[in-house]
Amino acid sequence: MTKLNHLKKTVGLWEKMDKELSDIRELKEIAKQERDDSVASDIEKAEAALAREIQNLEIETKLSGEHDARNAIVAIHAGAGGTESCDWAEMLLRMYTRWAEKKGFKSEIVDILSGEEAGVKSVTFIIKGEYAYGFLQSELGVHRLVRISPFDANKRRHTSFSSVDVLPELDDDIEIKIEDKDLRIDTYRASGHGGQYINKTDSAVRITHLPTGIVTQSQSERSQLKNRVTAMKLLKVKLYELEQEKKRKAIEKHYDEKGDIAWGNQIRSYVFMPYQLVKDHRTGREIPQVDNVMDGEIDPFISAFLEWKIAKRIS
């Protein structure tokens, strides 16, 4: 049924765009015959909207991985640099949640560790929407920020790093065998610094998988049981990914791809000063409108990454 619904949606989208294109052509013809320039702005808006729809569909055609259509589990970790890096991690969180909103996706924070003064040290959240993982796999790696620090009284330029990890959200019935004896389950009081991250529960759960050392945690629900279910789901996903990596001997392991959260390992740089530019170091894609990118306009980077990935696979 899931596959059928997806196919229906794809065909429906194609038919909708085909009709929109016909309507635009018809409107152009009428305007030409009647020499009416008053509808020019309407035609331009309709063409721009159709172009965006075509671009989104074009991106989706490049997503053929086993889990590309699934929801995405995203984890952001601040690098060395204290408050600066924590603030940068929170800026990235906002960038991805704004991107999700524009896509019509939903985002849910499942675990967050606030910075001592500002920002977040780490945050894990789920973006729910069709092809969320396929889109966001381009974000795996270290992200570098260059700006005049708002926390520096001398207004000096600072460089900060944060890493982004992206995994697909898998079904509850994935075949991952987890022995009770291999788990250590701890409960603790949820933490947060108010606002949108205000404390919601004192029944947070942390699960440690002893054989691998993988730790997952959840504190977003009031119920300890629900937090345990969420933490266990995250553990299953990470164990599944670990097994997949063992099978894919030809490529580097998932967590090794990011490298250290420091200089030389960044996949993308966001420069606010002395000039404004966001550059992806893998694809060479550059966008000078930094504010737009930080407001969630990352589709050009996603599209360029998918093209780069396909080209790399062919070569």
* Amino acid (one-letter) located at 201: T
CB 129 within 8 A of CB 168: no
**CA–CA separation, 146 vs 9, rounded Å?**
41
Which pLDDT does position 106 carry in this prediction? Answer: 96
CB 259 within 8 A of CB 142: yes
Which pLDDT does position 37 carry in this prediction? Answer: 77
Which pLDDT does position 197 carry in this prediction? Answer: 46
Q: Residue 174: phi, psi to the nearest 5? A: -65, 145
CB 60 within 8 A of CB 303: no
- Spell out, as residue ranges, where the chain has pLDDT lower than 70: 171-175, 191-202, 246-264, 315
Task: Please give the structure tokens belonging to residue 242.
Answer: 């670990």
Task: Please give the structure tokens belonging to residue 260.
Answer: 């250290």
Helix 299-314 / helix 40-61 crossing angle, nearest 10 deg:
40
Would you state the torsion angle of the CA atoms of residues 253, 233, 303, 165, taken in this order, to the nearest 10 degrees?
-50
Which pLDDT does position 263 carry in this prediction? Answer: 61
264-270 contacts: CB < 8 A, separation 24 or more? 265/141, 265/142, 266/141, 266/142, 266/143, 266/144, 266/161, 267/140, 267/141, 267/142, 267/143, 268/141, 268/143, 268/144, 268/301, 269/143, 269/144, 269/145, 269/146, 270/143, 270/144, 270/145, 270/146, 270/294
Would you state the torsion angle of the CA atoms of residues 198, 204, 210, 213, taken in this order, to the nearest 10 degrees?
0
**CA–CA separation, 258 vs 206, rounded Å?**
24
The angle formed by the CA atoms of residues 37, 41 and 45, to the nearest 5 degrees, is: 145
Which pLDDT does position 254 carry in this prediction? Answer: 45
Task: Please give the structure tokens belonging to residue 2.
Answer: 């899931």
**CA–CA separation, 208 vs 188, rounded Å?**
14
